[in-house]
């Protein structure tokens, strides 16, 4: 009997570790969202799910390259956070962003694990402000098998989506395949565009436009996960195409103008446990590209002494390849210690570049190949990154655990150096858990920031230093029951060498220093036996200085108050109703930007979810932004004067059949 209990406890502990159900014991500030709840809420994709995370806001740019902002950290930079899908890093190399994955349908996702704060490193992957691990239905182990499914959706802007998840399994062999295709015809009234602010010179101010910004989407993705004994293969093809949004040169584009952001990766892994050692070896390749074809400026644009009577057109293409290999060795032979040591090496390279523009000498709209004479990007761009890490998880007592370690990283440009991390977790009892965390981390400049050339809006520099952050955090978690808790934490972040550029100074520079402090509250529980309640609140404040000149306590483009909540009431085992609320407070502008603050907004979503248990299908009908609130993401100074307008009220119908 005792042996049986011990075996059951070991199995439960293994499952808890894999499913992150013991997240409150982790040496990080972490939130976990299960798709079964998100689907009831009518959450459509990864972006909508991340908008529920404490401290996370959203920003965008003229490409509509959207990025989550963690705790107000540098809203106009990418790479502040890292996105992993089943443990594979998918940030693209060009922007160091993952906007193309934010539209990933929630039905393809089993669980989302979000770590807030720097120093959250996995196999040498360095996160500056936070990390997101998307777990797909490739996760499959005894007692928690993943179901096969078909999914179909239809919604506003003529949105259509279809996809499936399929798993094959034998004794030693497991295969997971997921596929989805989705498209819409989204256009949002926007403008006046950046020409009204002189983005392409005073001679062209009168050519500004207002109209429908093409924000349409057309994409498909095929994912494959294979496991054979100790070997794994993880691969994905994502073909992502979208409208040119607000224009590459900040001129409102044509409806057919587009940007492609494809992403392909394949990773081979080998994991073997030998006595007290566990060896984890990975090697992978990743390709991504920036591929734009658009009308860059309207008819009668004047550049120098040349008038482009039929406008300026351009095609810009840059394809990147990343090769990486990592080896990590874990040792558990010392009592109370779990030591991990390893390295990750990465080779980054541009393997193709094309730059075509209308004839700059004559003003003829026909394209001329300027790849050699006027490239938009350094075709020889390359960078090597070497990372070493040593970490020890030490169980000091039954109640106190300590995680400490150091990471070292250098590149073929600027080095980040040594970055320590120390984290304490004290479990007074099941109900009361305390955490204290100190960490240092960095963000390497993106390739857009380093290698962009001959562009009026952005100019790269290889002299950029990595952005650096030092973080201090304390947290308290109160567990009320197995599924009800309150998590509170206080954070203080010291950011330096932050990278900015502007419409008046397009060169990227390490110009800003930001001290950020605040706190987060997160509650999950019940009011009645048949409901689910989740709510969080974040307060962010601090000081900001640029080029050594302080601007006071108003951090630009950051909301001081973020509040999110959802409520699900289960009328029966088949039928549920839900409501989701989000509040984002106003945002200050840059000191030289004289526009009024970005307005606050509150949105409310509602959904009805019906599950037919007999035939195992689900129907969900949701309405987003039910009160038609005007939501805008801030635009930089001298661009779109009225900021970047977002979708208003929309609806979505989802049909899912499980097998």
Convert 185-202 to b/e letters by CB count within 10 Å (16 or more is b). Answer: bbebebbbbbbbbebbee
Write the pLDDT tens digit of every residue in 100-109.
999 999 999 9
Task: Write the CB contacts of 214 (distance below 8 Å, at least 6 apart in sequence).
Answer: 186, 187, 243, 244, 245, 253, 254, 255, 256, 257, 258
- Residue 16: the pLDDT is 40
- Inform me whether the pLDDT recorded for 1 exceeds 70: no
Convert 446-473 to b/e letters by CB count within 10 Å (16 or more is b). Answer: bbbbbbbeeeebbbbbeebbbbbbbbeb
Find the CATH number of the domain harbouring 254.
2.40.170.20
- Residue 553: the pLDDT is 60
Do 382 and 366 form a contact (C-beta atoms < 8 A)? no
- Residue 546: the pLDDT is 82
Q: Could you tell me the residue range of the domain that residue 101 belongs to?
A: 2-658
- Inform me whether the pLDDT recorded for 7 exceeds 60: no
Do 318 and 349 form a contact (C-beta atoms < 8 A)? no
Place of tokens 């950011």: 495
At 2 the three-state DSSP class reads helix
Q: Give the CA-trace dihedral at 64, 69, 74, 80, to 10 degrees.
A: -90
Alpha carbon 219 to chain centroid distance?
A: 18
- Inform me whether the pLDDT recorded for 584 exceeds 80: yes
Do 301 and 204 form a contact (C-beta atoms < 8 A)? yes
State the Cα–Cα distance between residues 605 and 632, nearest whole angstrom. 17
- Inform me whether the pLDDT recorded for 562 exceeds 90: yes
Taking every pair of C-alpha atoms in the chain, what is the biggest distance, in angstroms?
Answer: 90
**Global confidence as pTM:** 0.93
Write the pLDDT tens digit of every residue in 307-344.
999 999 999 999 999 999 999 999 999 999 999 999 99
- Inform me whether the pLDDT recorded for 4 exceeds 80: no
Q: pLDDT band at 143, cuts 50/70/90?
A: low
Of 147, 157, 141, give the one whose Cα is nearest residue 107.
147
Do 464 and 512 form a contact (C-beta atoms < 8 A)? no
Write the pLDDT tens digit of every residue in 153-176.
999 999 999 999 999 988 889 999
Q: How many residues does the chain have?
A: 659
Cross-strand bridge partners of residue 543: 515
How many structural domains are present in the chain? 1
What is the mean pLDDT of the segment spanning 580-603? 94
Q: pLDDT band at 10, cuts 50/70/90?
A: very low
Cross-strand bridge partners of residue 627: none
Alpha carbon 482 to chain centroid distance?
A: 29
Q: Is 160 exposed, middle or buried (0-12, 13-18, 19+ CB in 10 A)?
A: middle
What is the mean pLDDT of the segment spanning 450-474? 91
């Amino acid at each position: 009997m005792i042996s049986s209990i011990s075996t059951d406890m070991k199995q439960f502990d293994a499952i808890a570790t894999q499913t992150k159900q013991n997240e409150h014991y982790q040496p990080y500030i972490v939130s976990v969202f299960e798709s079964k709840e998100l689907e009831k809420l009518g959450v459509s994709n990864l972006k909508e799910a991340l908008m529920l995370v404490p401290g996370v806001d959203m920003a965008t740019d003229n490409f509509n390259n959207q990025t989550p902002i963690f705790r107000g950290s540098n809203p106009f930079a990418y790479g502040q956070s890292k996105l992993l899908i089943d443990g594979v890093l998918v940030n693209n190399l060009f922007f160091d962003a993952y906007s193309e994955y934010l539209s990933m349908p929630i039905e393809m996702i089993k669980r989302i694990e979000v770590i807030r704060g720097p120093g959250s490193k996995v196999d040498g992957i360095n996160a500056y402000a936070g990390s997101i691990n998307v777990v797909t239905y490739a996760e499959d182990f005894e007692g928690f098998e993943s179901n096969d499914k078909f999914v179909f959706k239809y919604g506003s802007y003529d949105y259509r989506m279809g996809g499936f998840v399929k798993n094959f399994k034998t004794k030693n062999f497991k295969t997971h395949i997921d596929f989805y295709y989705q498209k819409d015809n989204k256009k949002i009234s926007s403008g006046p565009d950046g020409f009204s602010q002189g983005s392409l010179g005073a001679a062209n101010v009168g050519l500004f436009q207002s109209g429908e910004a093409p924000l349409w989407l057309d994409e498909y993705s095929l994912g494959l996960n294979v496991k054979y004994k100790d070997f794994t293969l993880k691969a994905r093809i994502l073909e992502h195409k979208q409208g040119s949004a607000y224009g590459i040169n900040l001129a409102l584009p044509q409806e057919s103008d587009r940007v492609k952001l494809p992403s392909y990766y394949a990773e081979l892994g080998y994991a073997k446990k030998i006595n007290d050692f566990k060896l984890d070896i990975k090697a992978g390749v990743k390709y991504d590209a920036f591929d734009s074809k658009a009308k860059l400026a309207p008819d009668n644009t004047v550049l120098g002494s040349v008038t482009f009577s039929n406008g300026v057109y351009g095609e810009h293409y840059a394809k990147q390849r990343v090769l990486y290999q990592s080896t990590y060795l874990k040792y558990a032979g010392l009592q109370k210690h779990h030591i991990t040591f390893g390295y990750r090496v990465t080779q980054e390279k541009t393997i193709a570049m094309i730059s075509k523009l209308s004839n700059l000498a004559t003003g003829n709209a026909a394209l001329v190949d300027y790849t050699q004479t006027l490239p938009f990007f350094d075709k020889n761009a390359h960078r090597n990154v070497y990372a070493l890490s040593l970490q020890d998880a030490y169980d000091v007592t039954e109640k106190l655990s300590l995680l400490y370690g150091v990471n070292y990283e250098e590149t073929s440009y600027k080095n980040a150096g040594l970055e320590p991390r120390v984290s304490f977790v004290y479990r007074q009892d099941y109900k009361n858990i305390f955490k204290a965390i100190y960490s240092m981390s960095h963000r390497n400049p993106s390739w857009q920031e380093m290698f962009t050339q001959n562009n009026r809006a952005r100019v790269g520099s290889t002299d950029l230093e990595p952005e650096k952050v030092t973080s201090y955090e304390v947290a308290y978690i109160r567990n009320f029951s197995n599924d009800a808790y309150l998590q509170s934490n206080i954070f203080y972040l010291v950011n330096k060498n932050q990278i900015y550029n502007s419409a008046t100074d397009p060169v990227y520079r390490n110009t800003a220093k930001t001290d950020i402090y605040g706190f987060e509250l997160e509650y999950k529980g019940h009011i009645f036996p048949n409901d689910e309640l989740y709510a969080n609140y974040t307060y962010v404040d601090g000081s900001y200085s640029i080029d050594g000149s302080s601007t006071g306590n108003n951090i630009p483009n950051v909301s001081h108050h973020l509040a999110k909540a959802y409520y699900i009431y289960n009328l029966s085992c088949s039928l549920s109703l839900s409501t989701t609320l989000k509040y984002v407070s106003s945002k200050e502008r840059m000191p030289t930007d004289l526009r009024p603050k970005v307005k606050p907004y509150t949105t409310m979503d509602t959904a009805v979810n019906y599950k037919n248990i007999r035939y195992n299908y689900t129907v969900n009908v949701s309405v987003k932004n039910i009160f038609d609130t005007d939501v805008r993401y801030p635009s930089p100074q001298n661009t779109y004067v009225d900021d970047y307008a977002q979708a208003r009220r929309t609806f979505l119908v989802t049909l899912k059949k499980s097998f």
